Amino acid sequence: MQSKPNSPLAALLAPSSIILASRNSKVKCKAAANVSGDSPTPKGMNQYERIIETLTTLFPVWVTLGAIVGIYKPAAVTWLETDLFTLGLGFLMLSMGLTLTFEDFRRCLRNPWTLGVGFLAQYLIKPMLGFAIATTLKLSAPLATGLILVSCCPGGQASNVATYISKGNVALSVLMTTCSTVGAIVMTPLLTKLLAGQLVPVKAVDLALSTFQVVLVPTVIGVLANEYFPKFTSKIISVTPLIGVVLTTLLCASPIGLVSEVLKTQGAQLIFPVALLHAAAFAIGYWVSKISFGESTSRTISIECVMQRIILHIHVQIRVKHKCRTQSSALGFLLAKKHFTNPLVMVPSAVSVVFMALGGSGLAVFWRNRPIPLDDKDDFKE
């Protein structure tokens, strides 16, 4: 870039200049929230900006409060169902699209190997970790099956928000989420059959349609707004991180509320195995990526491994009080409930919803305060 802004937030507030610079120079494919890689600091911020930054960095606190409310007061969050739930997911991805340009995606596609590594991390590293942990800890068959099922689910939209806050590569995160979701049509049934001995079918049409509606369309609309209405986006982009935090908290609390009874009665026995699964996936995903890629890309792949499909995009008919209605829940929880007769298979998925939300938000804030080196490796140069 021709000149460096006084602070990363100045870069955040001037997306039009970022877009112009990205077209005239070779830049790294990073979140527009922090192009320079420096962590935001209170110095140079006005009071409004400091409040937004403080509320954003309290991401783990809001997610923790949301999880507590979901477990003990589920009625306060389970109202977010069906159309409102889908609308919330779409708006979440719209807010991410406002931080991106089409050039960000073009740069990412210059190195498809990054997508390949992310896909392998999703469907090789984590499933093998789930199988190894279940075997080593000698979990009962139902709990082992549930843990393996969790490890075979694709990445979710919450990972895009966490990547944005952690100053990772948002465009790469969106592409990875899309690829892993489409890949789940084949990979989730195949891996659960190989590792757990049970075929768990996934509705291909529903999954592809929901990905198109909730991930691709809102993201493209946001990118178009950023490209053609930069003055408008520059006025609202400063609150984008906080919008993502609020929506992610609500969208995680809702499925937790739906499985609150399972968490309260059976969740304690799965705390260590599930925590170990996500912690190991984060560490291995990050350090394996660091072998070939820079810090920004490694953060993105690691978060994508940790934050799998927290929110379900498949709408299914569940009979409640003899009345048929459509609900959304955690993908692993739904698949376990639908395809396994033993209720214990659902427990790892229910516990995993909590750990993915807490672990992913904590990791995002931790990295937000650790600057990406100015000489970080450019994984997407021509």
Query: What are the domain boundaries of the chain?
Result: 59-366
**pLDDT tens per residue across span 193-227:** 888 776 566 666 766 776 777 778 888 999 999 89
- Does residue 311 carry a pLDDT above 80? no
Q: State mean pLDDT over 243-263.
A: 81
Residue 6 φ/ψ, nearest 5 degrees: -60, -30
Q: How confident is the model at residue 181 (pLDDT cuts 50, 70, 90)?
A: confident
- Does residue 134 carry a pLDDT above 80? yes
Give residue 128's identity as a one-letter amino acid code: M
Q: State mean pLDDT over 97-118.
A: 87
Which CATH number is associated with domain 59-366?
A: 1.20.1530.20
Alpha-carbon distances, residue 24 vs 19, 227, 321 (angstroms)? 9, 15, 61
Is residue 181 within 8 A of residue 155, CB to CB? The reply is yes
Q: What is the mean pLDDT of the chain?
A: 75
Is residue 227 within 8 A of residue 19, CB to CB? The reply is yes
**pLDDT tens per residue across span 333-370:** 555 555 555 556 767 877 887 888 888 888 888 998 88
DSSP state of 374: T
145 burial via Cβ count (<10 Å: 0-12, 13-18, 19+): buried
- Of 137-146, 233-242, 251-260, the least confident: 251-260
End-to-end distance of the chain based on CA atoms, in angstroms? 17
Question: What whole-number distance in Å separates Cα of residue 41 and Cα of residue 75?
Answer: 38
The pTM (predicted TM-score) of the whole model is 0.74
Highest mean pLDDT pick, 24-38, 130-144, 253-267, 306-320: 130-144
Residue 382: count of CB within 10 angstroms of its CB:
6
**pLDDT tens per residue across span 8-23:** 434 433 444 433 444 4
Task: Tell me if residue 344 falls in helix, strand or coil.
Answer: helix
Listing DSSP states for 177-224 in one string gives: HHHHHHHHHHHHHHHHHHHHS------HHHHHHHHIIIIIHHHHHHHH
